């Protein structure tokens, strides 16, 4: 899978005729996520107070689609350095309470 994605990415970069491209290096061994298993990957839908710099507002509500809510570690712009499970659970609980208290009574933007 890693070899396929690397080759496909290189093919796309060549077709785009980008001004900068990194030549894929030789693979010494198959990719393994073992080295990353304690990093608790986060991000992808970062929470923020500005739709220009974040995906969702402080309640996990999409800036672009108000009836889409995101919860979980994807809300964090980066990992704090330790297991995020407690924070993920607390954030999910807080978001659901806001959705129940305000959004379900009057669907629309919460911020």
Nearest to 61 by CA among 73, 43, 48: 48
| CA-CA-CA-CA dihedral for 14, 32, 37, 41, to nearest 10 | 10
Residue 63, C-beta contacts closer than 8 angstroms, at least 6 positions apart: 51, 54, 55, 56, 57
- pLDDT value at residue 88: 92
Q: How confident is the model at residue 37 (pLDDT cuts 50, 70, 90)?
A: low
* Least confident range of 7-16, 17-26, 45-54: 17-26
> Burial, 75: exposed, middle or buried (Cβ in 10 Å; 0-12, 13-18, 19+)?
buried
Beta bridge partners of 56: 47, 62
Q: Phi and psi (nearest 5°) for 62?
A: -60, 135
Residue 40 a catalytic site member? yes
Q: How confident is the model at residue 81 (pLDDT cuts 50, 70, 90)?
A: low
What percent of the chain is predicted at pLDDT more than 90? 50
Task: Please identify which of the residues 6, 40, 54, 62 carries the catalytic annotation.
Answer: 40
Can you tell me the distance from the alpha carbon of 63 to that of 15, in angstroms, rounded to the nearest whole number? 33
């Amino acid at each position: 899978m890693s070899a396929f994605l690397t080759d496909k990415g290189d093919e796309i970069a060549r077709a785009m005729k980008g001004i900068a491209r990194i030549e894929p290096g030789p693979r010494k061994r198959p990719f393994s996520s073992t080295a990353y298993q304690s990093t608790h990957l986060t991000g992808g839908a970062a929470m923020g107070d500005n739709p220009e710099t974040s995906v969702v507002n402080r309640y996990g509500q999409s800036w672009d689609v108000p009836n889409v809510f995101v919860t979980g570690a994807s809300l964090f712009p980066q990992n704090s350095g330790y297991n995020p499970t407690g924070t993920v659970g607390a954030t999910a609980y807080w978001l659901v309470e806001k959705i129940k208290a305000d959004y379900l009574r009057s669907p629309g933007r919460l911020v």
